[in-house]
Amino acid sequence: MQHTISFTQHDKPTPIVAQVPTNTLLADAAHIAGIDIGQPCGGQGRCGRCAVQVTGGTVRRRSTLRLSPADVEQGYALACQTVVEGDVSIFVPPQEKIERRLTTDRVVAEVTVPEGYEYLQDQTVRRIHLELTPPSMDDQTDDWSRLQIAFRQQQNMERVTCSVDLLRKMGQVLRDGDWNVTAVVDVSNVIQSGESNHTIQLIDLQPGLVDEYSPLWGIAIDIGTTTVSLWLVDLVTGRVRAQVAEYNGQIARGEDVISRIIYASKNGGGQELRQRVLDTINSLLETACKRVNAKAGDVVKATIAGNSTMMHLLLGIPAENIRLSPFITAVNHPPILTARAVGLNTNPEASVDCLPGVASYVGADITAGVLSSGVDVADDVTLFLDVGTNGETVLGNRDWLVTCACSAGPAFEGAGVVNGMRATQGAIEEVWINSDTFEPTYRVIGGGKPKGICGSGLIALLSEAFITGILDKAGNVNLMANSSRVREGAHGGEYVVAWGTESESGEDIVLSRVDVDNLLRAKAAIYAGFTVLAETVGILLESVSKVLVGGSFGKYINVEKAVQIGLLPDMDWSRFEFLGNTSVKGAYYTLLDWRKRERITEIAKRMTYIELSADNSFYEAFTSALFLPHTDLSKFPSVAEVLENKQADTEKSTHVDK
Partner 1 sequence: MPIEIPKDKWPGSIKSITIGATSAEGGTRAKIITIGGGTTMPYLQFDAPVLSGDEAPNKPVIAIEIKSHKPEDWSPLLAEVWGEAMSDPAEWAKKAEEAGADLIVLALTVDDSAEDAVRVVKSVLSATGLPLIVWGPGQAEKDNELLVPVSEATKGEKLVLGICEDKNYRTIVATAMANGHLVQARAPMDVNLSKQLNILISDMGMPKDRILMDPTTGALGYGIEYGYSVMERLRLAALQGDAMTQFPMIVTPGFEAWKTKESKVGEGVPEAWGDWTARAINWETITATALVESGADIVVLRHPESVKRVKGAIEELITA
| Binding footprint of partner 1 on the chain (CB under 8 A) | 472-474, 476, 478, 480, 620, 623-624, 626-627, 631, 633
* Nearest distance from C-beta of residue 401 to partner 1, angstroms: 30
* Nearest distance from C-beta of residue 615 to partner 1, angstroms: 15
* Nearest distance from C-beta of residue 655 to partner 1, angstroms: 15
* Nearest distance from C-beta of residue 623 to partner 1, angstroms: 4
The crossing angle, in degrees rounded to 10, of helices 269-291 and 257-265 is: 120
* Nearest distance from C-beta of residue 395 to partner 1, angstroms: 24
Cα 612 from Cα 359, distance rounded (Å): 13
* Nearest distance from C-beta of residue 71 to partner 1, angstroms: 34
Sorted by sequence, the CB contacts under 8 Å of residue 305 that are 6+ apart come out as 220, 221, 222, 223, 355, 363, 364, 365, 367, 368, 583, 584, 586, 587
Nearer to partner 1, 488 or 572 (CB): 488
Nearer to partner 1, 23 or 476 (CB): 476
Nearer to partner 1, 196 or 631 (CB): 631
Cα 126 from Cα 203, distance rounded (Å): 10
Nearer to partner 1, 541 or 633 (CB): 633
Cα 363 from Cα 503, distance rounded (Å): 39
The CA-CA-CA angle for residues 401, 112, 602, to 5°, reads: 25
Q: What is the DSSP string of 178-196?
A: TTEEEEEEE-HHHHHH--T
Q: Let me know if 192 is exposed, middle or buried by CB neighbors in 10 A (0-12, 13-18, 19+).
A: middle
Nearer to partner 1, 615 or 620 (CB): 620
Nearer to partner 1, 305 or 528 (CB): 528
Cα 639 from Cα 570, distance rounded (Å): 8
Nearer to partner 1, 168 or 658 (CB): 658
Kindly give the pairing relationship between strand 486-489 and strand 299-306: unpaired
Closest C-alpha to 396, from 538, 287, 572: 538
The CA-CA-CA angle for residues 398, 394, 620, to 5°, reads: 140
> How many C-beta neighbours within 10 Å does residue 145 have?
9
* Nearest distance from C-beta of residue 472 to partner 1, angstroms: 6
Cα 221 from Cα 585, distance rounded (Å): 9
Nearer to partner 1, 364 or 524 (CB): 524
CA distances for 452 relative to 202, 424, 510, angstroms:
47, 10, 9
Q: What is the DSSP string of 605-616?
A: HHEEE--GGGST
Nearer to partner 1, 320 or 620 (CB): 620
* Nearest distance from C-beta of residue 515 to partner 1, angstroms: 16
CA distances for 529 relative to 160, 216, 394, 618, angstroms:
49, 41, 10, 7
* Sheet with strand 180-186: strands edge to edge: 125-131, 180-186, 199-207, 159-161
* Nearest distance from C-beta of residue 492 to partner 1, angstroms: 8
* Nearest distance from C-beta of residue 627 to partner 1, angstroms: 5
Nearer to partner 1, 15 or 469 (CB): 469
* Nearest distance from C-beta of residue 622 to partner 1, angstroms: 9
Q: Give the single-character DSSP code of 362.
A: B
Q: Are 461 and 453 in contact (CB under 8 A)?
A: yes
Q: Let me know if 283 is exposed, middle or buried by CB neighbors in 10 A (0-12, 13-18, 19+).
A: middle
Nearer to partner 1, 458 or 626 (CB): 626
Torsion-angle region of 506 (φ positive above 0: left; ψ -120 to 50: alpha; else: beta): left
Nearer to partner 1, 135 or 492 (CB): 492
Closest C-alpha to 389, from 562, 210, 258, 234: 258
Nearer to partner 1, 607 or 626 (CB): 626
* Nearest distance from C-beta of residue 188 to partner 1, angstroms: 52
CA distances for 103 relative to 14, 47, 100, 551, angstroms:
30, 11, 8, 20
* Nearest distance from C-beta of residue 365 to partner 1, angstroms: 30
* Strand locations in 281-413 (E): 299-306, 337-338, 351-354, 382-386, 390-396, 401-407
Nearer to partner 1, 248 or 435 (CB): 435
* Nearest distance from C-beta of residue 40 to partner 1, angstroms: 25
* Nearest distance from C-beta of residue 434 to partner 1, angstroms: 21
Nearer to partner 1, 474 or 490 (CB): 474
Cα 112 from Cα 551, distance rounded (Å): 18
Burial 570-598 (b: 16+ CB within 10 A, else e): beebebbbbbbbbbbbbbbbbbbbbebbe
* Nearest distance from C-beta of residue 631 to partner 1, angstroms: 5
| Alpha helix positions (H), 469-542 | 513-536
Q: Are 420 and 515 in contact (CB under 8 A)?
A: yes
Sorted by sequence, the CB contacts under 8 Å of residue 451 that are 6+ apart come out as 421, 425, 426, 427, 503, 504, 505
